[in-house]
Amino acid sequence: MTVRSRAPFYVFVFLLIAAGISIATWRHIELGVPWMTGEQRPVWMIEARVDFEGQDEAAQVSLHIPQQPPGFNILTEQAASPGYGFTIMETSASRRAEWTKREVSGPQTLYFKAQFVPEDASPDSARTRKPRPIPTFWEEPQATAVNELLREATERSSSPESLTRELIRLLQPDSRTQNTTLLVSDDNYLQLLERMLNHAGIPARTADALRLEDARRRQQLLPFVQIHNGDRWLTFDPRTAEQGVPENLLLWRQGSESLLDVVGGGNSQVSFSMLRQTVPALQLATLEANQNGLGVLGFYQLPIEEQSMFRMLLLLPLGALIVAFMRIIIGVRTSGTFMPVLIAVAFVQTTLVPGLVAFLSVVAIGLVLRGYLSSLNLLLVSRISALIILVIFITAGLSIVGYQMGFNTGMTVTFFPMVIIAWTIERMSILWEEEGAREVLVQGSGSLFVAICAYLVMSTSLAGHLTFNFPELHLVVLGLILLMGQYTGYKLSELRRFTPMKVYD
Amino acid sequence: MDWISPRKLKKLGMLNMNRRNVGYIGRYNERSSFPLVDNKLKTKLAVSEYGVKTPKLLQVVRQQHEISHFREMSEDLDGFAIKPAKGSGGKGITVITGRDEDNFVKASGARISVAMLERHLTNILAGLYSLAGTPDVAIVESLVQSSPALAKYSFQGVPDIRIIIFQGYPVMAMLRLATKASDGKANLHQGAVGVGLNISTGQSLNAVQFNRPITLHPDTGLALQNINIEAWEDMLEMASRCYEATGLGYMGVDLVVDAHEGPLLLELNARPGLAIQMANGEGLLPRLTNIEALKRPHFSPRERVQYAMEAFGKH
């Protein structure tokens, strides 16, 4: 082997570790996969309730539902309405929930539930092409009043936004002049505002929003007005002239004509109730990942059975890391390099104490039986084969005895890798004959110590969470193991072993 | 618990396990040369071309059915040693020193029947003692008659001399004496005594057992300070020649001194242990870096030995 420069190696390891950490960070930020287990995130559960009176004929109910409300993500949607056919109709302009039924009579109640996740992203609505203002026609004397009011507002403003603000202010009851009292009546205010803005050449429309407050029932939608400034739709409160969408405001309807259409029914109304829930952040991330296609990079889309298998598999690198650390840096002697990891995996299934008891008893009984086997003078292969069968007998025996005695934990013995245990027994027994019981004890307890350390790390919920949800972190583990492969310093055990050298110092 | 600080170890130039594996075995020992030293039979054949003598080969048992020939062959032998070709650390070596009617007498004095020896051969063939548990062959060698000058220091067993050869230069040596604790074996971790040897003279330096310094052999009670190895330079040269035979840059050469044949090669080790440093009371690193820093290495074993005796001797 030639001596090569170490620099490329360290750069490579650094890249591995950096890649692992940055992908994990990206996954955390972009998909919201939490670093810790048990992290909770707030979610708004909103229930729209549609009531109407059936008129003994076929009914069709169509409710506008939000498409992409600014500042929120839709997590789940479901409808509860026994006996009704339900679909969600999507067109470019609107999204509507449609219930249909052949014959409807008497009072009817339909529910539509959706979960909304608050998003950190800016609540600006998306850029759209500027629509044309709707041409309006006024009769005298309203026409004069409208022109007068618009002139006044235009004088005090410089942009569509400020014009809108000024107009709203002018139309408020406290600042009313003759012109406004002529125009405004109680129920036409919003339509008037919309028409006047359109008349002024500003594309305007109405929207409905829901003010989010925890545990409210029978809430009504609040009307808002939206104008287009050339780039995007801007939302104004028609009462206070306040611009923008506050965090607790969910725009339920925008850009669609009607909120609720009922055909074949009368006396219809819609009301909303809402609830602030918390869901595990992980569940949220899983759902979102499945929706936006980024989930391809994780294990969430695999069948549950494979997922649980990967959960186990992805813990193995941690065990390997522990073994590498224990052997290279600490210098613990183990029997068989990775036997401790396999034992630790078995411990994860059995939990520690029952696992330890089961393991020790299998090995102890195995050693006794191996003593008899060695006196038979068998060839190695058949001796190991016989030992494997004996180990299976022992585990079966322990399971049955344990079960009859009422210990369910006796059953968990079956998680141990039989072949590995057979080899362990064989090696221990040879070690015993050649080096004496002391060496067996040293290596046996070393193996168990490493196995327990690996178990303690692998069984923490954080380890399971990180390895499964951030599989890229294994690049970091790989990098660390590679780095350890370059460690040429003293092992901790050597500091003890070489102690007598003190006298030569 | 007693500890030594890493800084002190570094000052003493102590080679450690990780550094040995990465910096020396990994760097200087070709993987392809390993079978040559891990298999005693191959070693024997390889070194014989370079004038390195080994104990006489009496029989090679390769197959289970050949074991029956062993009984005929051993009829008229008094002493011999059965070794697994791929054994390591002296595992599976049975030394027979004589006969007691139908039974053989082991080095420890215990009696052993032919049937038990045959079972031992079976175990060897099955790979019980081989490094990776692979099938093995058993070799039967003539018994080494240790020279009395050295044999008296050892409790049973044959004292052997371990020399670390780095790129053909002998860098450190020790004498290994069997004890009661080591069951007549010359392995330090089993309890044999290691006596450091001055590279330039073959004189003993310090002695350790179980990593602890001692001055007297625990069983024979003899003082270990004034042991002198005869024909020292020839032994070093013989060890040095193994470098040409195997091409291994970092290895341990185990020699014995036979009363009639002189120095014989017992085995080569591609992963020599670190205990030799404690027996010498000195770290290997300064000597290894000295060799690594050589701009013009010496080509003949004799020149290399002379350089080493000059450079690493304690006066």
Q: Nearest C-alpha of chain B: how many angstroms from A440?
A: 13
A320 and A455 both lie in a single domain: yes
Residue B122 and residue A377: Cβ atoms within 8 Å?
A: yes
% of chain B beyond a pLDDT of 90 = 32
A201 and A340 both lie in a single domain: no
Q: Which residue has the higher pLDDT, B204 or A293?
A: B204
Residue A500 and residue B208: Cβ atoms within 8 Å?
A: yes
Q: Nearest C-alpha of chain B: how many angstroms from A471?
A: 30
Task: Flag whether A131 is in a domain.
Answer: no
* Cβ neighbours around A372 below 10 Å, total: 9
Give the CA distances from residue A482 to residues A490, B15, B79, in Å, rounded to whole numbers and listed in that order. Answer: 17, 21, 51
Smallest Cβ–Cβ distance between B18 and the set A328, A379, A381 belongs to A328
Q: Nearest C-alpha of chain B: how many angstroms from A482?
A: 13
Contacts of B285 in chain A (CB under 8 A): none
User: What value does the mean pLDDT take over residues B201-217?
Assistant: 88
- Is residue A50 within 8 Å of residue A270, measured between CB atoms? yes
Domain range spanning residue A160? 142-254
Best residue in B12, B14, B16 to probe A by mutation, most A CBs within 10 Å?
B16
In sequence order, what are the residues at sequence separation of 6 or more whose Cβ sits closer than 8 angstroms to the Cβ of residue A360? none
A318 and A195 both lie in a single domain: no
Instruction: State which of A217, A239, A254 marks the end of a domain.
Output: A254
Smallest Cβ–Cβ distance between B22 and the set A430, A488, A503 belongs to A488
Local confidence band at B239 (pLDDT 50, 70, 90 cut-offs) = very high
State the complex-level ipTM: 0.78
Segment (H or E) for A95:
strand A95-118
Beta-strand pair B160-166/A265-280: unpaired
The predicted pLDDT at position A1 comes to 42
Q: Is the pLDDT of residue A298 over 90?
A: no
The predicted pLDDT at position A103 comes to 82
Task: Flag whether A102 is in a domain.
Answer: no
Contacts of B16 in chain A (CB under 8 A): 488-491, 494
* Cβ neighbours around A118 below 10 Å, total: 17
Residue B9 CA to residue A498 CA, distance in Å, equals: 8
Please indicate if any CB of chain A lies within 8 Å of the CB of B12. Answer: yes
Task: Flag whether A73 is in a domain.
Answer: no
**pTM for the structure as a whole:** 0.69
pLDDT in tens, A37-53: 777 777 888 888 888 88
A334 and A410 both lie in a single domain: yes
- Of chain A, the end-to-end C-alpha distance in Å amounts to 34
All domains in chain B, ordered by first residue: 9-53+147-312 (3.30.470.20), 57-142 (3.30.1490)
Residue A200 CA to residue A171 CA, distance in Å, equals: 15
Interface of A with B (CB under 8 A): 1, 3, 328, 331, 377, 379-381, 430, 434-435, 485-491, 494-505
Q: Is the pLDDT of residue A174 over 80?
A: no
% of chain A beyond a pLDDT of 70 = 89
Among residues A112, A43, A48, the alpha carbon closest in space to that of A273 is found at A48
A315 and A450 both lie in a single domain: yes
User: What value does the mean pLDDT take over residues A179-203?
Assistant: 74
Task: Flag whether A10 is in a domain.
Answer: no
Q: Which residue has the higher pLDDT, A480 or B211?
A: A480
Residue A37 CA to residue A461 CA, distance in Å, equals: 7
Q: Kindly report whether the peptide bond that precedes residue A141 is cis, defined as omega within 30 degrees of 0.
A: yes
Residue B119 and residue A494: Cβ atoms within 8 Å?
A: no
Q: Is the pLDDT of residue A247 over 80?
A: no
pLDDT in tens, B149-168: 888 888 877 888 999 999 99
Please indicate if any CB of chain A lies within 8 Å of the CB of B18. Answer: yes
The predicted pLDDT at position A146 comes to 77
A318 and A467 both lie in a single domain: yes
Task: Flag whether A406 is in a domain.
Answer: yes
Contacts of B283 in chain A (CB under 8 A): 501
Smallest Cβ–Cβ distance between B91 and the set A380, A434, A494 belongs to A434
Among A227-241, B134-148, B229-243, B296-310, the least confident range: A227-241
A316 and A464 both lie in a single domain: yes
Residue A490 and residue B123: Cβ atoms within 8 Å?
A: no
A191 and A335 both lie in a single domain: no
User: Beta-strand (E) ranges in B124-231?
Assistant: 138-142, 160-166, 169-177, 193-197, 204-209, 212-214
What DSSP character marks residue A67?
A: S
Please indicate if any CB of chain A lies within 8 Å of the CB of B128. Answer: yes
Best residue in A501, A502, A503, A505 to probe B by mutation, most B CBs within 10 Å?
A501
Instruction: State which of A208, A230, A254 marks the end of a domain.
Output: A254
Please indicate if any CB of chain A lies within 8 Å of the CB of B122. Answer: yes
Give the CA distances from residue A97 to residues A22, A79, A85, B165, in Å, rounded to whole numbers and listed in that order. Answer: 41, 9, 11, 86
Q: What is the average pLDDT value for chain B, to the nearest integer?
A: 88
Evaluated on CA atoms A81, A84, A88, A89, the torsion sign reads: negative
Q: Which residue has the higher pLDDT, A131 or A457?
A: A457
Task: Flag whether A322 is in a domain.
Answer: yes
* Cβ neighbours around A60 below 10 Å, total: 16
Contacts of A499 in chain B (CB under 8 A): 2-4, 211
Task: Flag whether A191 is in a domain.
Answer: yes
A326 and A465 both lie in a single domain: yes
Q: Is the pLDDT of residue B20 over 80?
A: yes
A351 and A223 both lie in a single domain: no
Local confidence band at B169 (pLDDT 50, 70, 90 cut-offs) = very high
The predicted pLDDT at position A214 comes to 76
Among residues B244, B107, B92, the alpha carbon closest in space to that of B167 is found at B244
Single-letter code of the amino acid located at B302: R
In sequence order, what are the residues at sequence separation of 6 or more whose Cβ sits closer than 8 angstroms to the Cβ of residue A243? A161, A165, A234, A235, A236, A237
Q: Is the pLDDT of residue A313 over 90?
A: no
Q: Is the pLDDT of residue B89 over 70?
A: no
Compute φ and ψ for A178, nearest 5 degrees. -60, -40
Best residue in B9, B124, B136 to probe A by mutation, most A CBs within 10 Å?
B9
- Return the SS3 of A335: coil
Which residue's entry shows tokens 């060897």? B124
The predicted pLDDT at position B315 comes to 54
Q: Take residue A275 and report the two structure tokens written for it.
A: 């609830």
User: What value does the mean pLDDT take over residues A164-170?
Assistant: 79
% of chain B beyond a pLDDT of 70 = 98
Contacts of A377 in chain B (CB under 8 A): 119, 122
- Is residue A296 within 8 Å of residue A452, measured between CB atoms? no
Q: Is the pLDDT of residue A3 over 60?
A: no
pLDDT in tens, A271-292: 888 887 777 777 777 766 666 6
Q: Is the pLDDT of residue A477 over 50?
A: yes
User: What value does the mean pLDDT take over residues A197-223?
Assistant: 80
Residue B8 CA to residue A493 CA, distance in Å, equals: 15
Contacts of B282 in chain A (CB under 8 A): 504
Smallest Cβ–Cβ distance between B11 and the set A485, A488, A505 belongs to A505
Best residue in B1, B2, B4, B278 to probe A by mutation, most A CBs within 10 Å?
B4
Best residue in A333, A495, A503 to probe B by mutation, most B CBs within 10 Å?
A495
Q: Is the pLDDT of residue B269 over 70?
A: yes
Instruction: State which of A222, A254, A286 marks the end of a domain.
Output: A254
Q: Nearest C-alpha of chain B: how many angstroms from A316?
A: 24
Contacts of A5 in chain B (CB under 8 A): none
A244 and A314 both lie in a single domain: no
Q: Which residue has the higher pLDDT, A232 or A407?
A: A232
Assign 3-class secondary structure to A177-218. CHHHHHHCCCCCHHHHHHHHHHHCCCCEEEEEEEECCCCEEE
Smallest Cβ–Cβ distance between A379 and the set B12, B126, B212 belongs to B126
B296 Rama sector, left if φ>0, alpha if ψ -120 to 50, beta otherwise: beta
Contacts of B27 in chain A (CB under 8 A): 1, 3
Contacts of B190 in chain A (CB under 8 A): 435
A205 and A330 both lie in a single domain: no
Please indicate if any CB of chain A lies within 8 Å of the CB of B132. Answer: no
Highest mean pLDDT range out of A73-77, A96-100, A188-192, A297-301? A96-100
Residue B87 CA to residue B40 CA, distance in Å, equals: 8
Contacts of A373 in chain B (CB under 8 A): none
The predicted pLDDT at position A471 comes to 86
pLDDT in tens, A345-402: 888 877 888 888 888 888 898 888 888 887 776 777 888 888 889 888 888 888 888 7
Q: What is the average pLDDT value for chain A, to the nearest integer?
A: 81
Contacts of A505 in chain B (CB under 8 A): 8, 11-12
Residue A495 and residue B212: Cβ atoms within 8 Å?
A: no
Smallest Cβ–Cβ distance between B6 and the set A381, A434, A489 belongs to A489
Q: Nearest C-alpha of chain B: how many angstroms from A455?
A: 26
Q: Take residue B64 and report the two structure tokens written for it.
A: 């289970």
Task: Flag whether A380 is in a domain.
Answer: yes
Evaluated on CA atoms B149, B150, B151, B154, the torsion sign reads: positive
Contacts of A487 in chain B (CB under 8 A): 18
Smallest Cβ–Cβ distance between B3 and the set A377, A379, A495 belongs to A495
The predicted pLDDT at position B131 comes to 66
Which residues does residue B161 pair with via DSSP β-bridges, in sequence order?
A: B175, B255
Q: Is the pLDDT of residue A488 over 90?
A: no
The predicted pLDDT at position B100 comes to 82
What total number of domains does chain A contain? 2
Highest mean pLDDT range out of A328-337, A411-420, A443-452, A492-501? A443-452
In sequence order, what are the residues at sequence separation of 6 or more whose Cβ sits closer than 8 angstroms to the Cβ of residue A450? A322, A323, A326, A327, A332, A334, A340, A344
Residue B144 CA to residue B105 CA, distance in Å, equals: 15
Among chain A residues, CA nearest to B115: A377
Smallest Cβ–Cβ distance between B18 and the set A381, A488, A498 belongs to A488
Residue B127 and residue A380: Cβ atoms within 8 Å?
A: yes
Best residue in B1, B7, B15, B17 to probe A by mutation, most A CBs within 10 Å?
B17
pLDDT in tens, B28-78: 998 888 888 888 899 999 999 998 999 999 889 998 888 888 888 888 787
Q: Nearest C-alpha of chain B: how many angstroms from A327?
A: 10
Contacts of B128 in chain A (CB under 8 A): 380, 430
In sequence order, what are the residues at sequence separation of 6 or more whose Cβ sits closer than 8 angstroms to the Cβ of residue A340? A319, A323, A334, A447, A448, A450, A451, A454
The predicted pLDDT at position A325 comes to 93
